[in-house]
Amino acid sequence: MAETTPDAAASDTPGQALTRQALTAAALRILERDGLAGLSMRKVAAEVGVKAASLYWHVRNKEELLDLLSDALVADAELPPREGSWRDQFLEYGRRHRALLLARRDAAKVVAGRLAPGPHILAVLEDQLDRLRAAGFSDADAAMASYLLSAYVQGFVLQEQSPLSAAEAAGATRGEAARAAGETFRTLPAETYPNLVALADDLTDPDMETRFEFGLQRLADGLAALLPA
């Protein structure tokens, strides 16, 4: 009957046939396997057992598929527990956001510069704003703080998730690549780059956890200064 049509209004009805959800899931699988550069419409089609042209019945563009993908990437986000100080909750938000992006291959590249707020993204944003306002931030500050956090996390993970050097893509571990990069800095001409030489180890420290945490703490400190006592 007519009421079974999975049409526009309830776009996320779980269909058993070929739905936008199924396409998104297939794209997610290919992203994990081949990376963003290896994600093509033809492969997505093959993954769902269909020819490439058929995808355009369900999706306007590859861009639209990527929009769906970017929302799906945050689909299984778990919100931090609503306890403790606003600061702890803020920090935890940043950590989980980073963890979410790191969990999927090339996730940062997919999300980067894609302002396509799907339902999952909206839900997270809504919750985040709610906590910031409850903490005492003004409306404008809450909005900006949320934007600030996501800009930092995306910028950070984007660099973190990209190969440190051409050598890394070819088998070398992160630690080895970092050591190689450190060597590069250390052997620079010391008269023109004294600081790079001196800080070679600090600059190429492969411990991304503490590096991320450093920035996160600075952000939280900076925001805390906006609140009254």
Partner DNA sequence: CAACGGCCCCTAACACCGTTAGGGGCTATC
Partner DNA sequence: GATAGCCCCTAACGGTGTTAGGGGCCGTTG
Residues that bind a second copy (CB under 8 A): 63, 108-109, 112-115, 122, 125-126, 129-130, 133, 139-145, 147-148, 150-156, 158-159, 161-166, 188, 192-196, 198-199, 202-203, 205, 211, 214-215, 217-223, 225-226
Name which of 63 and 221 has its Cβ closer to DNA. Answer: 63
Pick the closest to residue 154 from 193, 102, 83, 196 (CA basis). Answer: 102
Question: Do 125 and 117 meet the contact criterion of CB atoms below 8 Å apart?
Answer: yes
Give DSSP secondary structure letters for 89-150. Answer: HHHHHHHHHHHHHHHSTTHHHHHTT-----HHHHHHHHHHHHHHHHTT--HHHHHHHHHHHH
Instruction: Give the whole-angstrom CA distance, residue 229 versus residue 8.
Output: 49
Q: How far is the CB of 36 from DNA (least distance, A)?
A: 10
Query: Cβ–Cβ contacts within 10 Å for residue 55, how many?
Result: 22
- The residues that touch DNA, with contacts defined as CB under 7 A, are 1-2, 5-7, 17-18, 39-43, 45, 49-54, 56-58, 61-63
Q: How far is the CB of 204 from a second copy (least distance, A)?
A: 9
Q: How far is the CB of 14 from a second copy (least distance, A)?
A: 20
Per partner kind, with CB cut-offs from 5 to 8 A, the member of a second copy, DNA, none near residue 101 is: none
Name which of 25 and 144 has its Cβ closer to a second copy. Answer: 144
Q: How far is the CB of 145 from DNA (least distance, A)?
A: 35
Q: How far is the CB of 2 from DNA (least distance, A)?
A: 5
Sign of CA dihedral 40, 43, 47, 48: positive
Question: Do 68 and 20 meet the contact criterion of CB atoms below 8 Å apart?
Answer: yes
DSSP label of 79: P
Per partner kind, with CB cut-offs from 5 to 8 A, the member of a second copy, DNA, none near residue 72 is: none
Per partner kind, with CB cut-offs from 5 to 8 A, the member of DNA, a second copy, none near residue 28 is: none
